[in-house]
């Protein structure tokens, strides 16, 4: 089921880009550090090489974080494999990450259209359908990914879906001609909103702290959605969000978040029931 991704005790703790405060972002060293701390959830980004290999990498180009240059989608994986994050770390393949920790769950941000087509094959080979959640800042990429997957997978709301939750979209009516189709505006009643979100596979909203107001959190949770907030690196902000009842926090500061949750008896490491 698409909801299996979210069935861990809350609040969920996500290591953002593996926990970029402690090792180069999206590197094996970062992911290994987070897993060693007990993190059940790793957040990462997806880009695809010219020959269709999915890699955990945020930017469309190598320039910012590696010792190489060029657009990821225009390089073969062989060409990409010589690049080093922060000059020292190889760029991980998604297959390898999913295979390294079969019990760990991955929040996958689809960063480019080229990353959509290879994703179903990776999830099929690793049997990882129930331990991934797919998100994107592009509603069109998210729709295309959902169509390509062809089966239920946990999805985070697109910015449009988040706006439906945030503002209610009280105009227009649902179009029965297809999943997630709207005639002009999102559906009016909470029941129709829930139906619309379910049709699109949306199970959570992942938002910046500026959106995570008490009213937004309450509205989202009333619609049956978990609220995950990014990217929270200050202890005081973590405390404040937990007081508001958020369902998950994404952080680069994985040690700090573990300390905050542990102090509240809310740290649920890998293997917790």
Measured distance CA(196)–CA(52) in Å, rounded: 32
187 near 196, Cβ under 8 Å?
yes
Measured distance CA(34)–CA(23) in Å, rounded: 10
Residues 6+ apart with CB under 8 A from 251: 13, 14, 15, 16, 19, 21, 231, 232, 233, 238, 257
Sign for the CA dihedral angle at 6, 9, 10, 11 comes to negative
* Structure tokens, 260: 């905050």
**What's the farthest any 2 CA atoms get from each other in the chain?**
53
Residues 6+ apart with CB under 8 A from 71: 60, 61, 62
207 near 230, Cβ under 8 Å?
yes
Among this protein's residues, is 16 annotated catalytic?
yes
Catalytic residue, from 16, 33, 174, 228: name it: 16
* Structure tokens, 117: 């087509």
Catalytic residue, from 8, 22, 33, 58: name it: 58
Active-site annotation, residues: 16, 58
């Amino acid at each position: 089921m698409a909801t299996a991704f979210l069935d861990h005790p809350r609040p969920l703790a996500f290591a953002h880009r593996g926990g970029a405060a402690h090792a180069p972002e999206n590197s094996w060293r970062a992911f290994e550090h987070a897993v060693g701390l007990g993190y059940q959830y790793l957040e990462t980004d997806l880009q695809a090489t010219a020959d269709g290999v999915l890699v955990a990498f945020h930017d469309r180009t190598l320039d910012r974080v590696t010792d190489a240059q060029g657009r990821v989608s225009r390089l073969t994986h062989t060409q990409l494999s010589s690049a080093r994050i922060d000059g020292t770390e190889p760029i991980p393949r998604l297959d390898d990450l999913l295979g390294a920790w079969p019990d760990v769950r991955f929040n996958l941000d689809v960063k480019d259209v080229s990353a959509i087509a290879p994703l179903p094959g990776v999830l099929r080979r690793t049997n990882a359908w129930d331990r991934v959640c797919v998100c994107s800042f592009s509603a069109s990429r998210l729709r295309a990914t959902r169509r390509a997957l062809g089966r239920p997978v946990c999805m985070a709301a697109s910015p449009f879906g988040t706006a439906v939750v945030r503002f209610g979209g009280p105009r227009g009516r649902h179009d029965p001609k297809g999943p997630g189709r709207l005639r002009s505006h999102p559906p009016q009643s909470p029941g129709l909103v829930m139906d619309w979100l379910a049709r699109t596979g949306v199970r959570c909203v992942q938002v910046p702290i500026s959106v995570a107001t008490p009213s937004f959190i309450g509205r989202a949770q009333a619609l049956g959605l978990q609220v995950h907030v990014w990217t929270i690196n200050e202890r005081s902000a973590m405390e404040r969000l937990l007081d508001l009842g958020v369902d998950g926090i994404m952080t680069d500061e994985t040690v700090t978040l573990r300390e905050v949750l542990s102090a509240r008896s809310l740290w649920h490491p890998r293997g917790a029931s």
